[in-house]
């Protein structure tokens, strides 16, 4: 009976782990479990991938010939990060890739340890045993790095879940103590109460051991084993992780990777204070006017002061690569900036903005960008909070700038182009980090990039509070890139439209259009075919597409305007988008009359669900803002053959309450003319004109099946 109960207990544990890592009881296949008892290194099932700032694509390293690391740009004078994934992971897991890219942005050498074959589901027990071999082989790599000239201070071991314990177990095979270990929610099951200190991460494994707790007590350990322990939002369950307990745990567990990547990338600080009570629910930082003087928040990140403050209850810490080595106990953390959990470098900020932001202490709620767990399954915060708050319209708690930070261009032709506040990035592949910054000084710039002359070209312009790596424009950018048929030129003018500076942003659209027109003419001279180029703009970005026509010496082929902004836009064709700005102007209305323009604007205007408010935004905190943003998801859906939203002609302008005929709704035709249904988006025929209506109660570009194209960030 005891044996049966033990078997059922183990089966239940594995079933729970399966639910956490996207497996199930029916997927149990113990024949593929690998138990390694002969500890010989190098080992064929433990691979090391090296990424360097000069060789970002990475290469597997032959540990029988370790000096080959110098063939891919390894530099002993640069800092090095060793990243180790956890159970059921791989070095190509998206969250690991995000962290890798964050370190590369700081000019680190990055080794990604791949022990996927030894950590597969449902083999958690064998994975625990195999951590000994992985730690031994990784320690061999560590020793070689110190042999060729790296100092221990230059090497950081970063491990997630079981990978965190591997970082600690490396100390069993090293003659000299490591300098720095970062444990990302170290795994708890069968370790916290059963493993000896020799087979788990402890504070004695390095001079500096920091732990980031995001799911303490379930998937992550709850004990404080670092020299500094960060309790993120209580350290147990992250507030924006939805669903049942298993889904919340999975989401929270992997978010520890997000926090570290954000600490490395973020231009704005995170804060931490002492929390003697440790990782407990609702362990939030008190922050009210009455105690602002008494409570001194400490920066978490790159700008941590070099010396601890005088007060005995506070210490100086940095979450990430600059953590100090003194011991302090648990720390409570709340984010003071948007979490960045995607690849690529953060949008550049002018020096004057960095200086002003450095003097501010404004507590913000977290806005989660996105998170991909191992196995390729996405975990997101509730989409309406992820996208619908992305523009920060009218919410002073969603940004840490003031009107004093607003940038006003001089206008009237007095601004100098090119402008450092206006950048153009070319994306040509499905890997977001592969982008090329436009350099007007290089006469052959276009040919020196991966630009493909056989593909269509997209000029993509964000709206208010946007930027290169910000939502919601990142959804459309990624859709174009993942489709593979487009060269995407993303215009980043985020420095000129940061919140709460909407008035300044409206004023700046003309200077931005002026400089972009000059850049577009230069790109044409470099070989960009304007007849195969479309300008796509959202909100204020749509008007920039139109205003560019005033400064070009040729006529643009096509403009697609996504709910062009309405507030404060002056009347008259010279001040806004109209159908004379390109040979073909298409407008998609989703919030006409509020944040978006109403009436006829282009050659063809699509009114989605009447054009004013979208039905799936009814439960959002701001139905108008949600509706305004979801125009992006409609265009993203239109990229994929067979999934284009179909529209019927209608006589009314947007906003409209027109109801489509049940017979004609959704009808698809192979030839199009007035009176026939046409696809909305990039495949709209150029001879279609007038007002068209779409009735669609489901969020666009939201995949209901794994085989469907889409983006979970478009789901509600």
pLDDT in tens, 163-192: 999 999 999 888 889 999 999 999 999 898
Report percent pLDDT > 90 for the chain.
40
Q: What is the pLDDT of residue 38?
A: 67
CB atoms near residue 617 (< 10 Å): 24
pLDDT in tens, 549-599: 999 999 999 999 999 999 989 887 788 999 999 999 999 999 998 999 988
Cross-strand bridge partners of residue 679: 646
Q: What angle do CA 253, 96, 491 make, to 5 degrees?
A: 110
Task: State the DSSP string of 474-510.
Answer: HHHHHHHHHH-SEEEEEEE-GGGS-TT-HHHHHHHHH
Domains of the chain and any CATH numbers = 42-287+297-322 (3.40.50.1820), 409-656+675-714 (3.40.50.1820)
Report percent pLDDT > 70 for the chain.
73
Q: Flag the least confident range among 48-62, 332-346, 690-704.
A: 332-346
The confidence band for 269, taking pLDDT boundaries of 50, 70 and 90, is: low
pLDDT in tens, 636-685: 999 988 888 899 998 767 776 544 444 344 433 333 334 678 999 988 99
**Helix, strand, coil share of the chain (percent; to 5):** 30, 20, 50
Q: Does the structure show a pLDDT above 60 at 363?
A: no
Q: What angle do CA 291, 296, 298 make, to 5 degrees?
A: 145
**Two structure tokens written together for 564:** 């062009």
Tell me the average pLDDT across 329-340.
Answer: 44
The CA distance from 480 to 488, in Å, is 7
Q: What is the pLDDT of residue 247?
A: 87
How far, in Å, are 203, 205, 226, 323 from residue 183 at the CA level?
10, 11, 8, 12
**Tokens 């589901």 belong to residue:** 121
């Amino acid at each position: 009976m005891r044996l049966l109960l033990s078997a059922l207990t183990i089966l239940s544990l594995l079933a729970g782990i399966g639910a956490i890592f996207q497996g199930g009881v029916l997927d149990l296949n113990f024949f593929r479990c690998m138990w390694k008892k002969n500890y010989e290194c190098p080992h064929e099932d433990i691979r090391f991938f090296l990424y360097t700032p000069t060789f970002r694509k990475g290469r597997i390293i032959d540990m029988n010939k370790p000096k080959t690391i110098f063939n891919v740009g390894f530099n002993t004078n640069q800092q090095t990060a060793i990243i180790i994934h956890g159970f059921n992971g791989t070095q190509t897991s998206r969250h690991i890739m995000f962290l890798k890219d964050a370190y590369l942005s700081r000019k680190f050498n990055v080794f990604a340890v791949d022990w996927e074959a030894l950590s597969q589901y449902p083999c958690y027990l064998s994975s625990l045993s195999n951590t000994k071999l992985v730690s031994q082989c990784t320690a061999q790599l560590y020793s070689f790095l110190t042999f060729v000239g790296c100092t221990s201070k230059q090497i950081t071991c970063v491990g997630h879940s079981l990978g965190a314990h591997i970082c600690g177990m490396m100390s069993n095979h090293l003659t000299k103590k490591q300098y720095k270990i970062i444990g990302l929610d170290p795994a708890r099951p069968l370790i916290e109460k059963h493993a000896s200190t020799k087979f788990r991460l402890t504070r004695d494994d390095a001079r500096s051991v920091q732990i980031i707790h995001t799911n303490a007590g379930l998937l992550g350990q709850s004990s404080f084993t670092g020299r500094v322990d960060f309790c993120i939002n209580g350290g147990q369950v992250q507030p924006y992780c939805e669903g049942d307990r298993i889904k919340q745990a999975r989401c929270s567990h992997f978010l520890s990777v997000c926090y570290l990547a954000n600490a490395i990338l973020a231009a704005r600080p995170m804060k931490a204070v002492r929390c003697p009570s440790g990782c407990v629910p609702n362990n939030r930082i008190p922050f009210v006017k009455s105690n602002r003087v008494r409570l001194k928040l400490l920066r978490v990140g790159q700008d941590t002061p070099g010396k601890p403050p005088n007060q005995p209850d506070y210490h100086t810490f940095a979450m990430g690569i600059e953590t100090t080595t003194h011991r302090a106990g648990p720390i409570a953390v709340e984010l003071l900036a948007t979490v960045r959990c995607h690849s690529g470098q953060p949008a550049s900020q002018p020096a004057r903005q960095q200086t002003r932001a450095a003097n501010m202490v404004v507590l913000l709620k977290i806005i989660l960008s996105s998170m991909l767990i191992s196995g390729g399954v996405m975990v997101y915060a509730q989409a309406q909070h992820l996208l619908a708050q992305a523009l920060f319209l009218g919410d002073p708690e969603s940004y840490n700038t003031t009107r004093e930070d607003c940038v006003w261009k001089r206008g009237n032709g007095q601004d100098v182009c090119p402008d450092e506040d206006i950048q153009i990035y070319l994306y040509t592949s499905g890997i977001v980090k592969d982008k090329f910054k436009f350099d007007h000084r290089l006469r052959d710039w276009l040919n020196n990039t991966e630009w493909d002359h056989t593909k269509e070209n997209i000029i993509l312009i964000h709206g208010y509070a946007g930027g290169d790596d910000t939502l919601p424009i990142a959804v459309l950018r990624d859709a174009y890139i993942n489709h593979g048929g487009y060269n995407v030129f993303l215009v980043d003018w985020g420095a000129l439209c940061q919140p709460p500076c909407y008035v300044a942003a409206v004023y700046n659209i003309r200077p931005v259009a002026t400089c972009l027109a000059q850049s577009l003419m230069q790109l044409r001279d470099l070989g960009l075919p304007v007849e195969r180029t479309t300008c796509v703009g959202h909100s204020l970005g749509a008007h920039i597409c139109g205003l560019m026509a005033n400064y070009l010496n040729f006529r643009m082929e096509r403009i697609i305007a996504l709910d062009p902004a309405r507030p404060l836009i002056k009347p008259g064709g010279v001040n806004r988008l109209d159908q004379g700005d390109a040979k073909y102007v298409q407008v998609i209305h989703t919030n006409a009359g509020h944040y978006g323009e109403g009436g006829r604007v282009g050659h063809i205007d699509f009114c989605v669900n009447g054009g004013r408010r979208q039905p799936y935004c009814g439960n959002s905190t701001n139905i108008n803002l949600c509706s305004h943003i979801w125009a992006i998801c409609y265009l993203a859906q239109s990229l994929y053959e067979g999934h284009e939203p179909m529209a019927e002609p209608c006589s009314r302008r947007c906003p409209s309450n027109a109801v489509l005929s049940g017979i004609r709704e959704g009808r698809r035709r192979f030839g199009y003319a007035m009176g026939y249904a046409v696809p909305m988006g990039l495949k709209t025929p150029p001879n279609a004109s007038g007002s068209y209506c779409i009735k669609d109660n489901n969020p666009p570009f939201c995949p209901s099946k794994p085989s469907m194209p889409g983006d979970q960030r478009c789901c509600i």
